[in-house]
């Protein structure tokens, strides 16, 4: 049984009378990766700012290992690491000098500081660029240096706010490799994103947030179970099918919906594995389809089901 590491309870925050975070609650278990997913402006940054003790909440509480995190409690704040959206690096200092500065802020010094700097540079794969200035880095490399800085003091929980925004694909992969390695070492992560593919790749648990409210708080598998259709089959027949055939198709095992646009059919399926049987039935009834394609449902479909909007609206 894993234990509760972070507990977020009924957090709220307004900016000038406008509610940005509205009663957000969720938990992070030790070693768990939680994806905080929501469109731009949903309240993700405000939520993680309060979790990290940077922003004062209007109400609610955050505890890490049972200890309250507030802007005033710096001992508790030191148990977590935050990689903010806005990069905080000194362009005039080398990567290593930047890390030494951050390390000193966390109270590290001497041989221990030197060792930790070398270790975190290796973790983010920047060891060979230690002596170069961040001004010469790509956006992704700067982000990796930021992750390194947040790891120096060995936090129990690492919070990353949209770590791949403005990052080239190569660095994006390097960031993911780093995060996967941290996860394998048992570090708990909170990861905010509006890219569902990213959240899906890494998260054990997904919290969907919109307009400052939690809409779902579940494992990816649990989220998918909320969808009536796990997959869609699109098939184009040689000619438009008769209404009777469509009705019979809708009654086939595993078929959840049928929509026809002339000879093109959109068939909802309980699961992707149901596609061959449906295709075989169609071929026997109406001749082999000219084209067909299957699509697995995505977190985007889940968000659409929950809100009636797409994530990028």
Ligand X SMILES: Nc1ncnc2c1ncn2[C@@H]1O[C@H](COP(=O)(O)OP(=O)(O)OP(=O)(O)O)[C@@H](O)[C@H]1O
Residues that bind ligand X (CB under 6 A): 15, 20, 38, 40-46, 162, 194
- The H-or-E segment that residue 34 falls in is strand 33-37
Cβ atoms of residues 222 and 263 within 8 Å: no
Residue entry with tokens 């609206």: 313
Widest CA span in the chain = 80
Q: How far is the CB of 52 from ligand X (least distance, A)?
A: 13
Total residue count of the chain as it appears in this document:
313
CB of 48 to ligand X, least distance (A): 8
Q: Which residue, 16 or 110, has its beta carbon nearer to ligand X?
A: 16
Task: Please choose, from the candidates 63, 82, 86, the residue with its C-alpha nearest in 3D space to the C-alpha of residue 159.
Answer: 82
Closest CA to 281 of 257, 239, 246, 238: 246
3-state secondary structure at position 53:
coil
Between 47 and 123, CB nearer to ligand X: 47
**Of 44 and 183, which CB lies nearer to ligand X in the complex structure?**
44
Strand partners, 35: 191, 206
In the complex, minimum distance from the CB of residue 161 to ligand X, in angstroms, rounded to a whole number: 7
- Residue the block writes with tokens 């990353």: 160
Comparison of 43 and 103: residue with beta carbon closer to ligand X: 43
User: Quick one: 42 or 187, whose CB is closer to ligand X?
Assistant: 42
- The residue (of 41 and 276) whose beta carbon lies closer to ligand X is 41
Least distance (Å) between residue 194 CB and ligand X: 6
In angstroms, what is the minimal distance from the CB of 61 to ligand X? 18
Write the CB contacts of 57 (distance below 8 Å, at least 6 apart in sequence): 11, 12, 13, 21, 50
Minimal distance in Å, beta carbon 179 to ligand X?
18
* Residues 139 and 61: beta-carbon distance below 8 Å: no
The CA-CA-CA angle for residues 284, 287, 293, to 5°, reads 95
Q: How far is the CB of 312 from ligand X (least distance, A)?
A: 11
Nearer to ligand X by Cβ, of 11 and 42: the residue is 42
Cα 119 to Cα 64: distance, rounded to the nearest angstrom: 25
Angstrom distance (rounded) from CA 183 to CA 200: 14
CB of 45 to ligand X, least distance (A): 3
Closest to ligand X by CB, 64 vs 209, is 209
Closest of 272, 263, 268 to residue 249, by C-alpha: 268
d(CA 205, CA 116) in angstroms, rounded, equals: 30
């Amino acid at each position: 049984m894993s234990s509760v590491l972070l507990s977020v309870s009924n957090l709220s925050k307004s900016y000038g009378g406008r509610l940005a975070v509205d009663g957000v609650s969720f938990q992070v278990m030790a070693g768990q990766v939680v994806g905080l997913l929501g469109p731009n402006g949903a309240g993700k940054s405000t939520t993680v700012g309060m979790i990290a003790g940077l922003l004062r909440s209007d109400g609610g509480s955050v505890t890490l290992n049972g200890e309250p995190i507030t802007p005033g409690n710096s001992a508790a704040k030191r148990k977590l690491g935050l990689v903010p959206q806005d990069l905080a690096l000194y362009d005039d200092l080398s990567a290593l000098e930047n890390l030494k500065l951050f390390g000193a802020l966390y109270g590290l010094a001497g041989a221990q500081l030197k060792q930790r700097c070398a270790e975190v540079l290796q973790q983010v794969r920047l060891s060979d660029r230690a002596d170069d200035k961040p001004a010469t880095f790509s956006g992704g490399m700067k982000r990796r240096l930021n992750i390194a800085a947040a790891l120096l003091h060995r936090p129990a929980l690492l919070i990353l706010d949209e770590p791949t925004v403005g990052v080239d694909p190569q660095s994006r992969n390097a960031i993911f490799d780093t995060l996967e390695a941290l996860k394998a070492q048992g570090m708990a992560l909170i990861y905010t994103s509006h890219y569902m593919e990213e959240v899906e790749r890494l998260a054990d648990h997904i919290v969907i947030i919109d307009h400052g409210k939690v809409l779902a708080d579940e494992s990816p598998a649990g989220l998918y179970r909320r969808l009536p259709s796990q997959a869609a089959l699109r098939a184009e027949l040689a000619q438009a099918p008769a209404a009777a055939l469509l009705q019979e198709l809708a009654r086939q095992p595993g078929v959840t919906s049928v929509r026809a646009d002339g000879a093109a059919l959109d068939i909802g399926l309980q699961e992707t594995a149901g596609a061959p049987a449906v295709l075989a039935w169609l071929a026997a009834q109406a001749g082999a389809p000219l084209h067909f394609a299957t699509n697995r449902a995505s977190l985007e479909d889940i968000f659409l089901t929950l809100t009636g909007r797409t994530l990028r609206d």
